Structure formats: C-alpha cells, structure tokens
Amino acid sequence: MSRLPYAKGSLLFAPMEGVTDEPYRKIIEKIYPQWDYLFTDFYRVPTVGKITSAPLLRHLGRHTMDNERVRSKTGFQILTAAQAQTLDVAQAAQSLKLHHLDLNLGCPAKKVNAHCGGSFMLTDLKLMEETARKIRDNFSGVFTAKIRLGYHDKSSFKEIVLRLIDAGVEAITIHGRTRDEMYKGHADWDAIAMAVEFSSVPIIGNGDIWSVHDVDAMFKHTGCYAVMLGRGALKTPWMAKLYKENRNKLSELHETFLHYERLKYLDEYFFELEKSYLSYGFSESNILGRFKSLSRYLFDDFDQADSVRSSFLRAPNLSDFQHSLQNLH
C-alpha cells in the first residue's frame, strides 16, 4: 500500500535550485493550485558543524511549515555526500516531523560530484545503498529518491533502482538521462517504461515534458505513476492547470490559443512573484536577477524568441522588465 503524498496521475513541480524556494513555491501554489505537489530545491547536508532542525526549517520556510495544506503538498529534498552528516539530518527531519524526504541522486554539478554527492553516488552503489538505508532507518516519513539512468552510462540502471527499493525507498523519480548527458539529447522514456515494468514501487517519469501533449505522452509511453516537470514547468508554470482543464481535448489545443493563454498568464505570474519576493525581503536587483533567469524558457514559442528573450535579459531594472512585458500585448 503506497504512502505517497500524491495520487496516481499527479503532476509534480520539480525541485530546482535557485528557483523553488518558499517565495516562489508560495506563488505557484497560490495561482496554479492544480499542481499536485511541489519540492524544495535541495538542502545540502553539511559535512561539519552541529546539525539542528533550524536550518532545515529555514530551507522549508515558515509559511510552508505552519500551513498544513501547503506543507502536505511540499516534499523536502536533500543532497548528501559520503562525508556529510546524513544520519543527523534524517534525525533532524524526524524531529521536525517532516512528512517526506527525497534524496537527490541526480545532480550533475562537478562541485557536488567531486565531494561524492548527487549523481556521483550512482557510481558507488554500496555507498548509495548505505546512504539510503541510513535515511530509511532514522526517518519514519515517506522516503523517495530522484535519479538519473546512471553516471557515465546506463549499465547499472536496473541495479540502481532495485538497490534503492531494497533500501526502503517508496518511489523513484527517474530523469531519463545519464549524468554525462547533462541535458543533451532526448530523455530516454523507454528506460523509464522499463523501470515501471520491473519496479515494485511507483516510478515518476521526468525529462523533456515540454507541453500538455508531452504530459499525456509520458503517461501513455511509460505507464508511470506520476510525472515531474522541471524546465517545462518553468516554461509554462500554468501547465498543470492547462492540462487538467483540457485533458479530454488536448488535440484541440492549437498554437494560437496557447500563445494567448501565455500572454494572459505572464503578467499575473511576474506580478505575484514580485510581491512575494519583496515580502521576503529580496532587493530589487535580486528580484531582477530571478526574473531574468525565469525568462530563459518562457518565450521559446514566440516568433523571434531570441530577440523577445533578450529584451528581458537586457532590462536594467524592474520597471524596464515590466515594460517589456507590456510590450508583448
């Protein structure tokens, strides 16, 4: 019997460093409540110093902690390494009564891998399994993992999944690429479909879901339990709403409609985000920096996407950024 905090067929907003902190998640949750579940960006397990629950609470956010509905829709992700204090963090999560820990085994960053963390653990399955067991034995909430297909290649993929299940994870999100592939090529959905066949725990499909049609295609192609969207969610933060409202007539959604939907939603998105970031004490230049990085995927479908995007990326201040938004209409 699955204890997962999201049902079969759910749409999950992926953990994304530099994006899915509380001020951002709060707005997504507020204006697009159709997302079934969201994740914190990864909390890096420290290697030195005494572990207390305070930094975990800061990472999750006070609003999330205090609001039962929001908390129950938010997974807490950790990224750990061979020398890091995994056990202490699992115990701190337990004392905070967090309901869900997700272990990041997919991060491809060189710095993280150099400390034997993130996707590096996919090269040392003994270390990976021991780490997962350490969390499982010290944390009674839901425990899941997020992986890539392997580090250099996919040869250990099946063993990775089976060893994680053996260590007690309750679901596995699979980004269908190896670490060496970073974001190149296409995510391998066949590998995800294969895991759905042999896995005894739910598999969450992830990688290259860019449209509502892709959401449907990932479910149909792989038979996965739920889907997770990263860059596609940044491109279309209202994707879950669009999908759920049109699930039975996806073939009727044409480009012009989607474009007008986009224009409709963009103003609200940035308006709400600005208010949220300000309320968390972000400076104007910080907000502008965030807005510019969020602009990366939002305009991909525009005619002359490059020049539209660059008008946002060049904005010297927030009011010029807002001005560029108005110019889209």
**Out of 80, 104, 113, 236, which residue is the one contacting ligand FMN (CB under 6 A)?**
104
CA–CA separation, 235 and 300 (whole Å): 8
Burial of 3 (C-beta count, 10 Å sphere; 0-12/13-18/19+): exposed
**Out of 17, 261, 300, 320, which residue is the one contacting ligand FMN (CB under 6 A)?**
17
- Cβ 284 to ligand FMN shortest distance, Å: 22
Site string for ligand FMN, 279-318 (x = CB under 6 A): ----------------------------------------
CA torsion, points 317, 320, 322, 326, in degrees to nearest 10?
A: -170
**Residue 5: other Cβ atoms inside 10 A:** 19
How does 142-155 read in b/e, with b if 16+ C-beta sit within 10 Å? bbbbbbbbbbeebe
Stretch of residues binding ligand FMN (CB under 6 A), selected from 57-65, 104-112, 299-307, 315-323 = 104-112
Stretch of residues binding ligand FMN (CB under 6 A), selected from 10-18, 215-223, 245-253, 283-291 = 10-18
| Contact (CB, 8 A) for 150 and 157 | yes
- Cβ 14 to ligand FMN shortest distance, Å: 3
- Cβ 186 to ligand FMN shortest distance, Å: 10
Stretch of residues binding ligand FMN (CB under 6 A), selected from 29-37, 99-107, 284-292, 302-310 = 99-107
| Contact (CB, 8 A) for 237 and 11 | no
* Cα-based angle 10, 277, 175 (whole degrees, multiple of 5): 35
Residue (42 or 238) nearer to ligand FMN, CB: 42
Residue (15 or 141) nearer to ligand FMN, CB: 15
DSSP-derived secondary structure letter, 245: H
Helix (H, G, I), strand (E, B) or coil at 212: helix
Q: Would you count residue 108 as binding ligand FMN (CB under 6 A)?
A: no
DSSP-derived secondary structure letter, 101: E
Q: Would you count residue 75 as binding ligand FMN (CB under 6 A)?
A: no
- Cβ 144 to ligand FMN shortest distance, Å: 11
DSSP-derived secondary structure letter, 117: B
Q: Would you count residue 150 as binding ligand FMN (CB under 6 A)?
A: no
User: Which positions lie near ligand FMN, rule CB under 6 A?
Assistant: 14-19, 41-42, 77, 104, 106-107, 146, 175, 206-209, 229-232
